[in-house]
Amino acid sequence: MERKDIRRIAVFTSGGDAPGMNAALRAVVRTAAWNKLHVYGIERGYEGMIDGHFQRLERRDVANIIQRGGTMLRTARSKRFMTPEGRRAAYEHLKAYDIDACIAIGGNGTFTGAKVFSEEFKIPFIGIPGTIDNDLYGTDYTIGFDTAVNTAIDAVDKIRDTADSHNRLFFVEVMGRNSGYIALYTAIGSGASSVLIPESETDLEDLKSVLRKNKARGKLFSVVIVAEGHPMGGATGIAEKIQHELASMEPKVTVIGHLQRGGAPTASDRLLASRLGFAAVELLLQGAENIAVGIVNGEVTSMPFEDAITKQKIPSDEMIRMASILAI
Ligand SMILES: Nc1ncnc2c1ncn2[C@@H]1O[C@H](COP(=O)(O)OP(=O)(O)O)[C@@H](O)[C@H]1O
Ligand SMILES: O=P(O)(O)OC[C@H]1O[C@](O)(COP(=O)(O)O)[C@@H](O)[C@@H]1O
Ligand SMILES: [Mg+2]
């Protein structure tokens, strides 16, 4: 049943940018236009909502962006939106533009803000998971994750060349604020020797012994992938703790950093973003609100913000076990 009370919607991107956000934006605008909705784009996420930076988006305004990284609406982390005064100012602008519902493209922080705001001001929100971290429950993958992993694997391939030439040990840090998904997928896809993530315990004695055994077995170089959010202080912290004992391997640290946030989205991210942008508008018009869309086992699904934010998605034990077996 179509909701006739929704005529004007706003869409924005928020939190860390992620390749594929533009593709999601395009899908939202085009699906909304097809359903004769008026769409406003809000610049710089919640910051633009507070400052009243709205622009009308029609179908041609999102032409030629599907292939671009970043976000044409730009993004921000907004401290002001964490305050009741900031959210009140944001609400006044939504009212001034006569907005009936919002579509938020972002990560766990963005969805938390959307939940708080929609409860305070009774405006329906739909969330689209856009973050390279893949740390949202209710979807197998978030928009931007696949591109980030491809970028990280490309970087590790290059590190391997020099690690091999010099017979060295590299600790490579990939992004993931509290999550080891990028690290685990990068490690498997790049054939790394070991992977250290916040979701599973790290035993440094064990790591040292694996690296020594590898060397004794004829492995001339090693690459260890470390998640940024590892509680021992990321790659730098781990390296500091054990490098003196492994001095003969000439340990080096590489932090890939924000490279992982940029670049053209992969085919997989474009498809995911298009499907989720389309689903967000369709579900909104069918009466859904305060939910995040996602794809689980290949099917579009949705779940309340509450669950998407509070439940933890954890990399499978099977993948973790496989990563170490394939590295022998
Ligand atoms: N508890 C909260 N209340 C209100 N707004 C929040 C809350 N948590 C996060 N936000 C808003 O969401 C924004 C984006 O969150 P952030 O964690 O930076 O990125 P992401 O959405 O990618 O996880 C924050 O900068 C803030 O404005
Ligand atoms: O870009 P910033 O503000 O330095 O933040 C870095 C953080 O953003 C991320 O790249 C993406 O996280 P979000 O999508 O949750 O914003 C994290 O991996 C990283 O910890
Ligand atoms: Mg986040």
9-24 pLDDT, tens digit per residue, is 999 999 999 999 999 9
Q: Is 175 annotated as a binding residue?
A: yes
pLDDT of residue 4: 83
pLDDT for res 61: 98
List the CATH code of the domain at 146-262.
Answer: 3.40.50.460
Ranges for all domains in the chain classified under CATH 3.40.50.450: 3-144+265-310
Q: Determine if residue 230 is labeled as part of a ligand binding site.
A: no
Amino acid identity at 127 = G
Catalytic residue numbers read 133
Tell how far the Cα of 108 is from the centroid of ligand 3, in angstroms.
5
Residue tagged 């999601």 (tokens): 24
- What is the structure's pLDDT at 285? 97
**Atom 8 (ligand 2) nearest CA:** 16
How much is the pLDDT for 1?
55
Residue nearest to atom 27 of ligand 1 (CA): 78
**pTM, entire model:** 0.97
ipTM greater than cut 0.95: yes
What pLDDT does residue 91 have?
98
Determine whether the shortest distance from the Cβ of 215 to ligand 2 is under 6 A. Answer: no
CATH 3.40.50.460 in the chain: give the residue spans: 146-262
**Are 251 and 243 a contacting pair, CB within 8 Å?**
yes
Q: What is the pLDDT of residue 270?
A: 99
CB of residue 16 inside a 6 A radius of ligand 2: yes
Positions of the chain with pLDDT under 50 = none
Contacts 24+ apart (CB under 8 A), 215-221: 215/249, 219/193, 220/164, 220/167, 221/160, 221/163, 221/164, 221/166, 221/167, 221/168, 221/169, 221/170
**Can you state the angle between helices 145-166 and 181-190, rounded to 10 degrees?**
50
Q: Structurally, what CATH architecture does the domain formed by 3-144+265-310 represent?
A: 3-Layer(aba) Sandwich (3.40)
